[in-house]
Amino acid sequence: MELARIKQLQEWLTALTNEELVWAHGFAQGLLSGNSVQGAAIHNPSEIVKQSPQNQSIALKPKITIAYGTETGNAKKIATDFAAKAKKQGLVPKLIGLDQYKLADLPKEIYFFIVISTQGDGEPPVAAKQFYDYIHQTPLHLPQTHFSVLALGDSSYPLYCQTGEDIDKQFSSFGAQRFTPLVKCDVDYDIEANVWVEQILQKITAPVETSAATPNVVLPIADTVAPSIKKSTGKKNYTGTVVTNINLNGKGSHFATHHLELALEEVEYLPGDSIGIVPENPDSIVDAIIELTGINPEKQLDFKKETGTVRELLLKKINIHYLLESTIKKYAAIVGVTDIPATRVNLIDLLRSYPVSSLEQFEAVIGILNAIPPRLYTIASSPTAHTGEVHITVLKEAFQLGNTEHFGLCSAYLANLNAGTNLPFFVQPNKRFRLPATDKDIIMIGPGTGIAPFRSFIAERDAVGASGRNWLFFGGEQFTTDFLYQTEWQNWHSMGVLTKISLAFNKNNGFKPFVQDKIVEQASELFEWILAGAYIYVCGEKAVMSVAVEKAIVQVIEEQGGMNNEDARKLLHELEHQGRYEKDVY
């Protein structure tokens, strides 16, 4: 066939609607089979379909969009496998990360499938935040869109899979139709994810009968309940022995920042990763709960697929601190009280103010409580420089409630661990906070405990002989008491491993500089590093610090690059897209 003829046909076919394509398909089948299908059939497309020898199974292979939002890479892996399977079945999949998705395309989507994880306290992955914010801030009308969501999470967190639930709810509110129900996956997601994919593929490729009134276009099948699936065993766990636990802050500091070293024979991690630790509840609080309720501490109970004594469960498994409002409402229903304020309180306070009337009631209360969620701590050691060890940097959180000082559950637990104590943990990879090639320059911005991953970065770069330059921005209250790992940084600087260090201590000499002030102060040189290809890393407090630091970086780009604010932000966004601006904030 001549190329001009092929191009003409392609232009004609791409302009057709779905119904017209079905008609054309049937018309061509009729011609090929030798049937006479001119005349009346041309005026009635459904008759062409009826004449086709495959009139019961003709179905267009629709285009589908598979979008993913990932932090560790799991959602991307599932989405990629999904796209490969879809292609094998003759579909036309479009695989795309939500950070690259054109938001204006949403009203055009017919089949839109989303694989997305949930981070931290029910938040979307960094790469999916723009998409998440857009669908929550923009009124959309998507009646033609058939969608399904696979939500990834960790059930040890109270708001696990929250991002997926939110997206599912929003799409439904836009009038979009669920192609298959929302599926929530725990850390072992393989089985549930495979079932979700197979359900979609079976339904989207299923033959649909045609009639004169209904052109042969595949339509979504009504919602069904996903089968109950037995989960496999949990993530890989390690147990380390505490060999060092020291307070890094000097005498007179307002803070107590502990450096813990765990020793174990074998552990796999990379600089930038975190470890997850499930803390134990204080013995004194557990004993008080047992005394208040009168329950036998040695009684065996089931809790979240585990069995243990009441005391073991209260000590190591059950969250008894800052209960969710939904949990408090369930507690009120159990004890028969309707006026319990829906504010986050500890279990011991509920039991004192609204006591249970029987052991049966307390066992019912145990059944509504959540598991203790793990806390993540960015690793402060290098797998190359500190073989067989994992180091973490922990700020012992202190706060006032009324006239009483309280401490964070996990930070206080870790701060009080003695040498020789065994500590279970798991490694949480962070693929969006990775060192670049050894010849690349890095800029590290991490006040307070945000310095932890950068100790790992520099120890690793020193151990492997990296040639790239290294610049650290660090801040705290006072130089004499709050310069964490001071001797190590000074040694790295004197040896040339740390090329440059910019310090901001905000209670020295009456002036209160912060790291963002130092960034602006060093604008010219900082911009030169950026132009030379440096990678920028930010770690530490999310709410205030990271926002102020990003504003300062934009200001540097704007002033040094001769740009307006919008263009400077676009450049920073492009750096982020390239993996040259990464954040680990909390």
Per-residue pLDDT tens for 285-318? 999 999 999 999 999 999 988 999 999 999 999 9
For the stretch 323-358, pLDDT in tens is 988 899 999 999 999 889 878 789 999 999 999 999
Q: Alpha-carbon distance 579 to 197, whole Å? A: 30
What is the pLDDT confidence band of residue 4, given thresholds at 50, 70 and 90?
A: low
Q: Alpha-carbon distance 167 to 173, whole Å? A: 10
CB half-sphere exposure, 117, CA atoms < 13 A: 24
Using a pLDDT cut of 90, give the percent of the chain over it. 69
Task: List beta partners, residue 582.
Answer: 537
Q: Alpha-carbon distance 86 to 231, whole Å? A: 25
Q: How far is CA 273 from the centre of its chain?
A: 14
Contacts of 101 (CB under 8 A, 6+ apart): 67, 131
DSSP 386-410: STTEEEEEEE--EEEETTEEEE-HH
Q: Alpha-carbon distance 123 to 161, whole Å? A: 9
Q: Alpha-carbon distance 318 to 164, whole Å? A: 25
What is the pLDDT confidence band of residue 157, given thresholds at 50, 70 and 90?
A: confident
Q: Is 203 helix (H, G, I), strand (E, B) or coil?
A: helix
Q: Looking at 80-168, which runs of residues are DSSP E strands? A: 92-97, 111-117, 146-152
Phi, psi values for residue 146, rounded to 5°: -105, 125
- Per-residue pLDDT, averaged over 199-209, amounts to 80
Using a pLDDT cut of 70, give the percent of the chain over it. 83
Q: Which residue type occupies 372?
A: I
DSSP type of residue 508: B
- Identify the pLDDT of residue 13: 59
Range from 230-234, 240-244, 249-253 carrying the lowest mean pLDDT:
230-234
What is the pLDDT confidence band of residue 92, given thresholds at 50, 70 and 90?
A: confident
- Identify the pLDDT of residue 7: 55
For the stretch 426-449, pLDDT in tens is 999 998 899 999 999 999 999 999
Helix (H) / strand (E) element for 245: namely strand 237-247
DSSP type of residue 428: E
For the stretch 466-515, pLDDT in tens is 999 999 999 999 999 999 999 999 999 999 999 999 999 987 655 668 99
- Identify the pLDDT of residue 379: 98
For strand 300-303 and strand 306-309, is the pairing parallel, antiparallel, or unpaired?
antiparallel
Q: Alpha-carbon distance 130 to 124, whole Å? A: 9
